[in-house]
Amino acid sequence: ELALGDQLIIVLTATLAAIGAAGAPSAGIVMLVIVLESVGFPAEHLPLALAMILAVDRPLDMGRTVVNISGDITVSVLVAHSLGRLKAPEDRG
């Protein structure tokens, strides 16, 4: 059972890890290890926990990677457009 303080640590650590996570496949597993260690998850149970998660994580990871990269591209285009660095196709000549 997790105390309220542990739950808050998980939320904070997961949020910071998600912000800093690269848009690379399987980056979520590394972030999961960081979150589990932040609340004192027993190191001897970590390989078993990761094995169970890896069994179902690959399809989910592909979806997360697509969403992450799409968001990065969208923000990049919006920033470039707002700075006037994005030209319309007819202006590229």
Q: Has residue 93 been placed in a domain? A: no
**C-alpha to C-alpha distance for 71 and 57, rounded to whole angstroms:** 21
Measured N-to-C along each axis, helices 46-82 and 27-38 cross at an angle, to the nearest 10 degrees, of 120
Please count the structural domains in the chain: 1
pLDDT digits (tens, 9 = 90+) for 50-66: 888 888 888 888 887 78
Q: Is 18 left (phi over 0), alpha (psi -120 to 50) or beta?
A: alpha
Domain that holds residue 57: 4-86
Global pTM reads 0.52
Q: Has residue 92 been placed in a domain? A: no
Q: Which pLDDT belongs to residue 77? A: 94
pLDDT digits (tens, 9 = 90+) for 1-35: 788 998 998 899 888 877 776 666 777 788 788 88
